[in-house]
Structures are given as C-alpha cells and as structure tokens.
C-alpha cells in the first residue's frame, strides 16, 4: 500500500463546514504526486481547511501553495499552519506498512468566525465545483464558481 492509497483510504474524511454554514464539507483532492494537497469544502464552495501530505512536509511549502492559489486573501503566517504526523497505529494499518512509516501533514484552517463581525464582505477562499480550483471571492456573495470572475486568487 503506497502513501497515496493510505491518504485516500484512511485519511479522507468528510465533516461539517467549520463555522461558515451548517452544510457537510467534503474532502477534495487538489494535487497528487510528490505531495498530496486536499481541501475541505462545503456545498457553497467555502474552504474550511487546506491540508498538504508528504513523507516530510515543511509549513513553508503549504504557505507557498496558498500564496500561489489564494494570494488575494492575504499572507498566511507560519503560526497559522499546524503540522501533524500520522502513524500506522493511528490509522489502524499496523502490519500493512513498514514499522517506521509515517505521513506528515501540514494544515491551514480558514477562520471564518475570527473576522465574521469585522467585514461580512471580506475575501475568502472558495473551491470552484466545476474545475476543483481554488479562488478568492467576497464571503457574502455566496459564489459557487469562479467562471467569469476577474480575481488574482485563481490557480
């Protein structure tokens, strides 16, 4: 079993949107390869979390990814990115992988509640449901697609 299969089979999870709405958020893969990047997005496209998986992950790599994908939301500080290590015992796959196997993940959570009262039309990160690309849009527009938008946040 390779790392990609483990990510897709044991780390893929759906859950509630982190405070933006009451909808269910689903995990969507944005990039696969040397590293895997996914996001959690609700039916409205609001991105609650972006996660990067790799055998070794550097928070700066996720910062770079976010800057390229969503630079228009402003800089993401290193203190906003968390790093975790997932071990075979944590995933319930002992004996299926080498004993020293581990997947590192760096994740950033878009904090809707932190600035909700400040500016309801502030820019936020969304996922286009048509092409699975990230884009930036005012939060209160409730957009579902970046089609026709002229913004600097599109990857």
Share of the chain above pLDDT 90, in %: 19
Share of the chain above pLDDT 70, in %: 82
Adjacent-strand bridge partners of 104: 54, 85
**Over the stretch 30-82, which tens digit does the pLDDT of each residue have?**
988 778 999 999 888 889 899 999 888 889 999 989 888 776 677 788 888 99
* Residue closest to 6 by CA, chosen among 94, 113, 132: 94
The predicted pLDDT at position 10 comes to 86
User: Of residues 112 and 106, which shows the higher confidence score?
Assistant: 106
DSSP 3-state percent helix, strand, coil across the chain (nearest 5): 25, 30, 45
Q: How far is it, in rounded angstroms, from Cα 40 to Cα 143?
A: 16
> Mean pLDDT over residues 77-105, rounded?
89
Q: What Rg, from alpha-carbon coordinates, does the chain have?
A: 16
Adjacent-strand bridge partners of 16: 24
The predicted pLDDT at position 99 comes to 81
Q: Is 0.75 surpassed by the pTM of this model?
A: yes
Is residue 147 over pLDDT 70?
no
User: Of residues 27 and 16, which shows the higher confidence score?
Assistant: 27
Do 134 and 154 meet the contact criterion of CB atoms below 8 Å apart? yes
Is residue 145 over pLDDT 70?
no
Q: φ, ψ for residue 142 (rounded to 5)? A: 60, 40
What lies within 8 Å, CB to CB, of 20 at 6+ separation is 42, 44, 46, 48, 112
Is residue 123 over pLDDT 90?
no
């Amino acid at each position: 079993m390779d790392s990609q299969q483990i990510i897709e089979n044991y780390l893929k999870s759906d859950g509630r949107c982190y405070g933006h709405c009451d909808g269910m958020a689903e995990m969507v893969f944005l990039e696969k390869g040397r590293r895997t990047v996914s996001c959690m997005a609700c039916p409205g496209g609001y991105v609650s979390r972006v996660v990067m998986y790799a055998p070794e992950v550097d928070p700066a790599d996720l910062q770079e990814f976010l800057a390229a994908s969503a630079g228009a939301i402003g800089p993401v500080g290193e203190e906003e990115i968390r790093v975790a290590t997932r071990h075979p015992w944590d995933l319930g796959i002992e004996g299926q992988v080498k004993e020293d196997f581990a997947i590192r993940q760096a994740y950033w959570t878009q904090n809707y509640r932190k600035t909700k009262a400040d500016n309801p039309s502030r820019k936020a990160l969304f996922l286009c449901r048509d092409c699975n690309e990230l884009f930036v849009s005012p939060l209160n527009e409730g957009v579902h697609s970046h089609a026709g938008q002229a913004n600097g946040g599109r990857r």
